[in-house]
Structure 1
Amino acid sequence: MYVVFLCRKFYHSVKQIYLILTLAFINIAAFAQSGHIKGKISSADGQPAAFVTVGLKDTRKGAVTTEEGVFVLRNIKPGQYVLIISCTGTKTLHTPVTVVADQTADVSLSLEATSAQLNEIVVEGNRTRTINKRPVSIGKLPVAAIDLPQGVAVIGHEVLEEQQVQRLSDVVKNVNGVYMASTRAGTQEAFNARGYSFSSSNMFKNGARVNSGVMPEMSSLEKVEVLKGSAAILYGNVSPGAVLNMVTKQPSFSFGGEVNVRAGSFGLLKPAFDVYGPLSSKVAYRINGTFETTDSYRDKVHSKRYYVNPSLLFKLNERTTLLVQGDYLKHDFTPDFGIGSLDNTRIADVPRNSFFGTPWQYAHTQQSSAGAAIKHQLNDNWSLNGTLTYQRYSRDYYAVERIQADANGKWARPLNRAFNSENYYLAQVDLTGKFRTGGLEHNVLAGVDGDRYYTKAFSYNQPTIYDTINILHPELYTARTDVPDASRIKSVTTPINRFGVYVQDLIRINSKLNFLAGVRFSYLQNEAPTTLDMKTNTTSQTKAKYDHAFSPRLGLVYKPIESTALFISYANSFTPNNGLDIDSNALKPSVIDQYEAGIKNDFLGGKLSVNVTAYQIRNNNYAQTSPFQKDGVTPNNNANLKALIGKTLSRGVEVDIAGHPLPGLDVIAGYSYNNITIESTSGVTGGAVEGERLVGNPNHTGNASVFYTLQQSKLKGLKLGVGYYYIGQRFAGWNNTINQTQKYNRLISVPGFSTLDVSAGYSFKRFGVMAKVSNITNTYNYYVHENYSINPIPPTAFTGTVSYKF
């Protein structure tokens, strides 16, 4: 009966997609009495000219070129017309074009400016295409962000270069409502959005999920996109709040590249290269890579990274392209659990550089991926995109950890040896298209995706306790320095399969009103984990777990004027809760309701965007790592042992500001307020205390980045910048629970803090130099994971980059 039920659900989902596609192809015939104009605009040196305005004289038809320099004008009556191609800072072009019924006129034009000159125009702030008017690939539909009923943030490569970002946390500082919650042992950066943890399910690279156990490389990125609110219909079983997609640099059919060297405080040295160009008229390549070595403001902490990212682009024909790409990252570093807590109630008052690990402990992580993405334009209105991706991740780890000392600083150092790996496979196909039914214009997305995780984790027979030290008085004990023997005794293999089918329609009712509706069916299969006892060479299995759900989405966008959009939306999503409770029972999944409303505005003729969003997210079954084992006293160090704490309610407001209000001036700023609390513990045994704020989440965050490039002086090309970041007071530790055995308050209050960065740079012809002093006020604060990994933020530091572009 269960199989029959699933088959019926799947049948109805496929039937919906079939009906939509049937309507689409029927309505294509309606365009037989009109023609289309399709073209590509290039710079003088052959590079695609993005964000160029294209208009049709004496009509209201117009478009802006994509980042590939492509534009399309649809449904034009047959006749003679004049195309007007304009971009601030370049000569306007007037080109005659003939439109024939049921045909597409192809146009290829070149501007007089080179790509370098166009980039300079962008820096001068005269680009009229705002963040609201640009389509974002993370939304999967080729529509502008202003037409989507949810918040979107895009951090482009110009910002990444200006700010000399090293880690993803440097990028996220530009996105309000998203913040780094912790850096557990310095092994990974954990992010929250609107109160909820990202987890690895919410992190993507080029549209494919990536394991969050490694810190991704920033030098290869073209941009970072953040889709706030619900993304369950597009990406399946994601946590609420937001999803983040890292887009790597793509091949180009014109030759170019860059070499640079970055150096800075604490022994930072990072040479990098990026080379791209054509192999033939049909094949282009790109390869970039870097090596990074650095010490730390923390004693005995070191890091070394290797990264390479090759890619090939094939023009199979005029309508089809194939992108093949891969990357490899190797990161060797010292696990660092920071300065620790005392008596599980307060942060230890010790110097920022105090290191309480061993001199030999290590973490070796590797991540590699290979993928292919094909794009095929079926006709002027319909396109088909397919992706295949394989990823492998592994971590080899041995260290003392979980710094939890008693009130006097005495700490018995726990020891942990681990090795885990993950193989991940993804396949997805998306069909997008436009058609009309009467006076309604439909922009449809239909797709199918499936992925498979195959994880393996080993256990070792290392000693549980390494030795005892005192973190307040190191002279009281002599610390061990030897490496204990550890051999594998057990492995656990866990296969996970996921499948989804979805359809979404963005309906343009008229020039002022858009309506979005869609639904996704998700099916999740956690196959029975297999445990191998290496001592006896015997295997055992636990029960398999199956979950499925429908995730609907509705939204409305109203544009009273072209530069302003008001929107409201509702989405329901489904998130599985992995792991077991303290009684070894599987956890129930979470069903999440999200409501969002906002306004998107473009001011100063499109030079500045100011967006405001309000939201409410309710998770009916929130799970977090159990702080203790079943006895309620012994600290838990098993991340798969979870506890349900009840329903959570997240409410907040966000303000996003971005643009180029004056020539040479780039601005990104924002503020967010979020209040996420335990709403109800009804039906949960030993649930959390109602009304308590969820750990790890500040009420307030703020950010501002202002860069100005001199335009008219002998110092033309000189760039000055200031970056400000604020994160408010939040709680570490664990939320208190009803009838807990601990007599103390398990919440640890962490004060808010601000940091200030200043930057300066200069560009001359092909050479450039950029310098930054970060945390110039030497603010001292912490990122805290639960109550045992308390990592001080970096002190004042210098970073400089010298580059040459060719």
Structure 2
Amino acid sequence: MAFGITAKAQTFAMNDGNILTGTIAGEVKTNDNSPVGFVNVMVKGTTKGSITTEDGKFQIRNIKEGTYTLIATYVGLQAQQMEVTVIAGQTSQINFVLPHSSQQLNEVVITEKRSMNKRPVSVGKIAINPLDMPQSMAIVGSEIIAEQQASKLSDVIKNVNGVALGTTRGSTSETFFARGYNLGANNIFKNGARSNSAVIPEASTLERVEVLKGSAALLYGNVSGGAVINMVTKQPKFEYGGEVSMRAGSFNLYKPIADVYGPITQNLAFRLIGTYETAESYRKGVESERFYVNPSLLYKLGSKTEILVQGDYLKNDFTPDFGIGSVGSRIPTNISRSAFFNTPWAYNKVEQTTASVNVNHQLNQNWKLNFVGSRQIFNRNYFSTERIQANAKGDWGRNLTRSKIAEDYYTGQLNLTGTAKTGSISHTLLVGADAESYLNTSHTFNLKTAYDSINILDPTKFIPRTDEPDSPIKSRTETPTYRFGTYIQDLISLSNKFKVLAGLRWSYQKVAVAKIYDVTSNEVTKSTTALTRYDRAFSPRIGVVYQPLTNTSFFASYSNNFTPNTGKDVYEQNLRPSIIDQYEIGVKNDLLKDKLSVNVTLYKVINNNLAQQAQFLADGVTINTDATIKEMTGQTTSDGVEVDLNGSIVSGLNFLAGYSYNFMRYTKTSGENGSYLEGERLVSNPAHTANATLFYTLQQTALKGLKVGVSGFYTGERNAGWNTAHVVKYQNDGTVARSLNYRLIPVTGFTTFDVSLGYSYKQLSLIGKLSNITNELNYLVHENYSVNPIPPRQFVTTVSYRF
């Protein structure tokens, strides 16, 4: 069904050669007045067409005068069509209504996947067709998350080509590496707002995970050059429904999940998602308990304004686990995968609360205003032994670490997006500003760090202690940080084939002097010698897109970003920022009538001065063990290529695959004491990674609803430990001795395979997965002391009921 055709007078007429042309514009909604994104709208008998944005809008330019049939198609639905008359210099308005509710459309989309080059990512802040973007991006949707029974963010991200999993101290959280860069808290977002990465996020209840590869500095400011990850939680719906499920698996995993949604009034809808998880581990003595709840409300304030309020709360208790550690600076191969060397009382307790509001207001047909505000409170209470670094005989003197930290984020952003014309040239504009306030609170303790000695090769050699020492708080340190930025971006359509993306951001950051408080009197007892640091920078971006065919796009881009560095140098001064230049070229293809997407990207990233943990303290002799004390280590260069495949060639068959190569190394250092060796690959970065996942659901046979899936994931060779450094020593006779300090730990590559089998009948579904079916043994290594074996072969199953 379609309705409404009007024509608006324009002050100019576009000229296609010598022929005056007009424009067709409109929107697509369901019969419950919800906008429908990603609808194909084509002019019958021509190659002209468009795809609706997420808010249901479309526009087709450069149409010759005449009467045409406009066709709107959506997967699984009968095409809608209507005649429209185009007049030179005018815009003909036509609106479609699809005869299904938004709930029915969501169910239809599950059966067929839209091309990944036809799905804009919200992390891009503006709904631009990915074929028009000179940048690589990826989406992992709720279907893959459910089929693979993902519970952690790493379970989802392993499907994203070019992003490799790492680990952190004690395995208390996950970290990722993209294009050679560690994706820390600055690069992780939830619903478009920056999110803490010091806890493993709950992934089983996500709608999708978006990854914007390369530089996103223009949009978000202080991010690294690798990628940004945006977790999108599920939103309310204006029809009643939901799902309850129970997940169970190896090592006493139990996880009930509930999801309920529906209308409260005609204009107000809700959604409530919750899950509880308890599990033991293949690592003896390691246990975890998680509770997560995610409420949200959607209010439609008239026809032009929507207000989305979301919140979530995560409580996670996890046993800190440093794995099997290192022996003589090497990974021991004769220690059991399950061996555990921490104390029985060690704990890592985390609570994280997030609240956000997202307001969308349609100013008119072409312009939209968006506001996102959020607050996140993070608390971590940690007490454990630390750093398994045994000598060649296996002896390890266990030391203790106690920490209690809190982080309080306030973030806000305002974005104006829309389209405009200057003559025959079209513009898709983004103008915005963002601001953040961040307070980090940490504590020091009266604690004797030396605990006892054990032998990790021969546990009977020593009798380990089991008591928990007292650790009263001594002081509290508060460090505030303030950030602000403004930006403008314009996608300039010179023609249907040539487009230019240009943008500029101005960023400001203030890192104030930390204050140290006595916890008894709550008075400032000491100020550090650091000075308040102010940083300002412009970050430009320019890209060119050439589309010789409607489904093929070649692109090239350059971006520059200013990356503030956290922590202090050995003299307690706040670190200066790094400047990163990124070059990227690639091609995006949609083949076989959009059933197969094949994208290839090549890149070069140059960081003028990389901040790393300092090797030595200010005296140049004492080895530094504090991760917050850093140094500027020199220029790095990262070259690489990424290949992505994604599609659904036949009905019921969905697959995605990818391969990436990365070479990040030091390219310019001082060559003096403590500086790193040029040309050596940076630690924690594999040269090669690859992934492939295929799921097939039988459509027509007596076994209709039976689902079979196979996944494979490859992580190539990489180095752990620390990069090789120059060492300069002055001899007693005044001569200088130069040497290299080799502290690399080679780690071999590995491949794991998962198989899944499921069945759905009406509202009931059951799926099971056997992961790491070959029982591959390898390790995730943080520096040289947290050496954690990957999970062995294990089984997990989920039974679900939709209503």
Interval containing the TM-score (normalised by the shorter chain): over 0.9
Q: The residue matched to 1:476 in structure 2 has which SS?
A: coil
Alignment counterpart, residue 781 of structure 2, candidates 771, 775, 784: 784
* Shift, 1:109, TM fit: 2.0
User: Contact between 1:453 and 1:496, CA under 8 Å: does it hold in 2?
Assistant: yes
> In structure 2, what is the equivalent of residue 338 of structure 1?
323
For residues 562 and 83 of structure 1, do their structure 2 counterparts lie closer, same or farther at Cα, with a shift above 3 Å needed?
A: closer
Cα distance in 2 between the residues matched to 1:698 and 1:244: 19
Q: Are 2:538 and 1:541 equivalent residues in the alignment?
A: no
For residues 303 and 592 of structure 1, do their structure 2 counterparts lie closer, same or farther at Cα, with a shift above 3 Å needed?
A: same
* Shift, 1:588, TM fit: 2.5
Q: Which amino acid aligns with 1:690?
A: E
For residues 313 and 98 of structure 1, do their structure 2 counterparts lie closer, same or farther at Cα, with a shift above 3 Å needed?
A: farther
Superposed CA deviations along residues 22-81 of structure 1, whole A, max 9, x for unmatched, are xxxxx98659997864333438x9876553323345666533344565555679899976
* Alignment coverage as a number of residue pairs: 776
Cα distance in 1 between the residues matched to 2:397 and 2:13: 76
Q: The residue matched to 1:239 in structure 2 has which SS?
A: coil
Q: Which amino acid aligns with 2:774?
A: T
> In structure 2, what is the equivalent of residue 206 of structure 1?
191
> In structure 2, what is the equivalent of residue 182 of structure 1?
167
Cα distance in 2 between the residues matched to 1:673 and 1:375: 40
* Shift, 1:437, TM fit: 0.9
Q: The residue matched to 2:725 in structure 1 has which SS?
A: coil
> In structure 1, what is the equivalent of residue 3 of structure 2?
none
* Shift, 1:661, TM fit: 1.4
User: Contact between 1:689 and 1:736, CA under 8 Å: does it hold in 2?
Assistant: yes
Q: Which amino acid aligns with 1:367?
A: Q
Cα distance in 1 between the residues matched to 2:101 and 2:416: 36
Superposed CA deviations along residues 558-590 of structure 1, whole A, max 9, x for unmatched, are 111111111110011111122222233433211
Alignment counterpart, residue 555 of structure 1, candidates 543, 547, 566: 543
For residues 34 and 484 of structure 1, do their structure 2 counterparts lie closer, same or farther at Cα, with a shift above 3 Å needed?
A: same
TM-score by length of 2: 0.92
* Shift, 1:237, TM fit: 0.6
- 633-642 or 200-209: which moved more? 633-642
Q: Which amino acid aligns with 1:340?
A: G
> In structure 2, what is the equivalent of residue 755 of structure 1?
752
> In structure 2, what is the equivalent of residue 664 of structure 1?
652
Superposed CA deviations along residues 380-400 of structure 1, whole A, max 9, x for unmatched, are 111111111111001011111
* Shift, 1:140, TM fit: 1.4
Cα distance in 2 between the residues matched to 1:580 and 1:684: 21
Cα distance in 2 between the residues matched to 1:28 and 1:735: 63
Q: Are 2:699 and 1:714 equivalent residues in the alignment?
A: no
Q: The residue matched to 1:159 in structure 2 has which SS?
A: helix
Q: Which amino acid aligns with 1:416?
A: T
User: Contact between 2:501 and 2:544, CA under 8 Å: does it hold in 1?
Assistant: yes
* Shift, 1:635, TM fit: 4.6
> In structure 2, what is the equivalent of residue 84 of structure 1?
71
Q: The residue matched to 2:365 in structure 1 has which SS?
A: coil
Q: The residue matched to 2:218 in structure 1 has which SS?
A: helix
User: Contact between 1:49 and 1:115, CA under 8 Å: does it hold in 2?
Assistant: no
Instruction: Map residues 159-558 of structure 1 onto 2, 5 A cutoff.
Output: 159-347=144-332, 349-534=334-519, 537-542=523-528, 543-558=531-546
For residues 47 and 115 of structure 1, do their structure 2 counterparts lie closer, same or farther at Cα, with a shift above 3 Å needed?
A: farther
Q: The residue matched to 1:738 in structure 2 has which SS?
A: strand
User: Contact between 1:99 and 1:105, CA under 8 Å: does it hold in 2?
Assistant: no
Q: Which amino acid aligns with 1:749?
A: P
Superposed CA deviations along residues 753-794 of structure 1, whole A, max 9, x for unmatched, are 000000011111001111100000000000000011111100
> In structure 1, what is the equivalent of residue 5 of structure 2?
none
Q: The residue matched to 2:77 in structure 1 has which SS?
A: coil
Cα distance in 1 between the residues matched to 2:581 and 2:727: 29
User: Contact between 2:373 and 2:413, CA under 8 Å: does it hold in 1?
Assistant: yes
For residues 743 and 469 of structure 1, do their structure 2 counterparts lie closer, same or farther at Cα, with a shift above 3 Å needed?
A: farther
Q: Are 2:603 and 1:606 equivalent residues in the alignment?
A: no
Q: Are 2:128 and 1:143 equivalent residues in the alignment?
A: yes
Q: Which amino acid aligns with 2:560?
A: N
Q: Which amino acid aligns with 1:90?
A: L
* Shift, 1:82, TM fit: 4.7
Cα distance in 2 between the residues matched to 1:432 and 1:150: 19
- 699-708 or 272-281: which moved more? 272-281
* Shift, 1:641, TM fit: 0.8
User: Contact between 2:53 and 2:127, CA under 8 Å: does it hold in 1?
Assistant: no
Q: Are 2:723 and 1:726 equivalent residues in the alignment?
A: no
User: Contact between 2:53 and 2:128, CA under 8 Å: does it hold in 1?
Assistant: no
> In structure 2, what is the equivalent of residue 581 of structure 1?
569
* Shift, 1:644, TM fit: 2.3
Cα distance in 2 between the residues matched to 1:338 and 1:398: 16
> In structure 2, what is the equivalent of residue 3 of structure 1?
none
> In structure 1, what is the equivalent of residue 667 of structure 2?
679
Superposed CA deviations along residues 445-487 of structure 1, whole A, max 9, x for unmatched, are 1111000101100011111111111111110111111110011
Cα distance in 2 between the residues matched to 1:47 and 1:551: 37
Q: Which protein has the bigger helix share?
A: 1
Cα distance in 2 between the residues matched to 1:28 and 1:551: 36
Q: Which amino acid aligns with 2:723?
A: N
For residues 61 and 346 of structure 1, do their structure 2 counterparts lie closer, same or farther at Cα, with a shift above 3 Å needed?
A: closer
Q: The residue matched to 2:123 in structure 1 has which SS?
A: helix
Alignment counterpart, residue 81 of structure 2, candidates 94, 105, 114: 94
* Shift, 1:331, TM fit: 0.4
Q: Which amino acid aligns with 2:549?
A: I
* Shift, 1:277, TM fit: 1.2
For residues 471 and 213 of structure 1, do their structure 2 counterparts lie closer, same or farther at Cα, with a shift above 3 Å needed?
A: same
* Shift, 1:94, TM fit: 3.1
User: Contact between 2:672 and 2:727, CA under 8 Å: does it hold in 1?
Assistant: no
* Shift, 1:116, TM fit: 5.2
* Shift, 1:685, TM fit: 5.3
TM-score by length of 1: 0.92
Cα distance in 2 between the residues matched to 1:509 and 1:117: 35
Superposed CA deviations along residues 174-215 of structure 1, whole A, max 9, x for unmatched, are 111111122431210011100011110000011100010011
Cα distance in 1 between the residues matched to 2:609 and 2:647: 40
Alignment counterpart, residue 620 of structure 1, candidates 608, 612, 615: 608
| 5+ residue gaps, structure 2 | 1-8, 15-20, 730-738
User: Contact between 2:103 and 2:239, CA under 8 Å: does it hold in 1?
Assistant: no
Cα distance in 2 between the residues matched to 1:400 and 1:455: 24
Cα distance in 1 between the residues matched to 2:715 and 2:193: 30
